[in-house]
Structure 1
Amino acid sequence: MTDFTPWSALAGGAMIGLAAGLFAVANGRIAGISGLIGSLLQRGEEGRGEKASFLLGIIAAPLLWRFFSTLPPVHITASPLSLIAAGLLVGIGTRYAAGCTSGHGVCGLSRLSPRSAVATLCFMAAGFATVYFLRHVVAGT
């Protein structure tokens, strides 16, 4: 918690909320990232330009941030195989839960959706359990 910056965290959260709200107003649907990516991969989907622009904005934001501040260093200690396995498991989980952290955790909870509350509790609990298991049972630390 030594690197916690509450004002930038508050600003970032407000910007995520504003972007999700504007996307809902402009498109009539929530900004679930896994759903947006999935619909971009399907032929004949409407609103492809808006969806692609939203996703490109997510990618471009940290690149633009580099002009105003230095980005924190990224240290990945996991093996490429475990990263691939984790990505596949997250993808499978988003299909079973019919959404991801942005769809359920940001947009769904803000709409007071009971289904999103259950989904968010489930994937957060699974994440906590996975980290505990890998760090304290498998690695023995």
Structure 2
Amino acid sequence: MSIDWLNFSPTAALAGGLSIGVACTLLLLGIGRIAGISGILSGLLDPAGRDFGWKLSFIAGLVIAPTLLKSFVPAAGVIGAPAASSLDFLAGGLLAGLGARLANGCTSGHGICGLARFSRRSLVAVALFMATAMAVTYVRRHVLGPA
């Protein structure tokens, strides 16, 4: 099942994009840090490391915010059943993690923060992320067929 495009809301999408942009900007201007999830998450592996507090707060906010939203707006985020199997999600997560490691940053760090800073390295990374995603989607849906 795919996203129900009849219920797509450009207003909600714009509000979400603006929220992410403002949060990234505030983090950069406030403490001079990039909102790349892979870097923030990897920083949690060393609790004695510097910046542990804000990194833990950031990740906690990513988990808590949608939970709170769902409690106040029960229909928020409901788009139907996932269009992939658990194995597909696992493989995708592992490959995304490997790609983030190879690219020295994840899609959020390069795509949101890096492109906004006109980073050439981020431009190359995002182009590779997108090309890979398109190729995998094509192969998965049109060559291998439905799961």
- Deviations 1:7-50 (CA, angstroms, capped at 9, x unpaired): 11111111001111111122212010011001111253211111
Q: Choose between structure 1 and 2 for higher RCO, CA contacts under 8 A separated by at least 6 residues.
A: 2
Tell me the residue number matched to 1:9: 13
User: 1: CA distance between counterparts of 2:111 and 2:69?
Assistant: 25
Answer yes or no: is 1:130 the counterpart of 2:139. Answer: no
5+ residue gaps, structure 1, are: none
Most deviating of 61-70 and 16-25? 61-70
Tell me the residue number matched to 2:123: 117
User: 2: CA distance between counterparts of 1:8 and 1:21?
Assistant: 20
- Deviations 1:57-112 (CA, angstroms, capped at 9, x unpaired): 11122112120351214412433333222211111100000111110000001111
1:62-101 correspondence runs (5 A): 62-66=66-70, 67-71=72-76, 72-101=78-107
Aligned-residue Cα RMSD (Å) equals 1.6
Closer, same or farther: CA 74–48 of 1 in aligned 2, 3 Å: farther
Answer yes or no: is 1:42 the counterpart of 2:50. Answer: no
What TM-score results when the alignment is normalised by the length of structure 1? 0.91
Report % sequence identity: 46
Most deviating of 33-42 and 19-28? 19-28
Answer yes or no: is 1:30 the counterpart of 2:34. Answer: yes
Answer yes or no: is 1:102 the counterpart of 2:102. Answer: no
5+ residue gaps, structure 2, are: none
Tell me the residue number matched to 2:24: 20
Most deviating of 51-60 and 90-99? 51-60
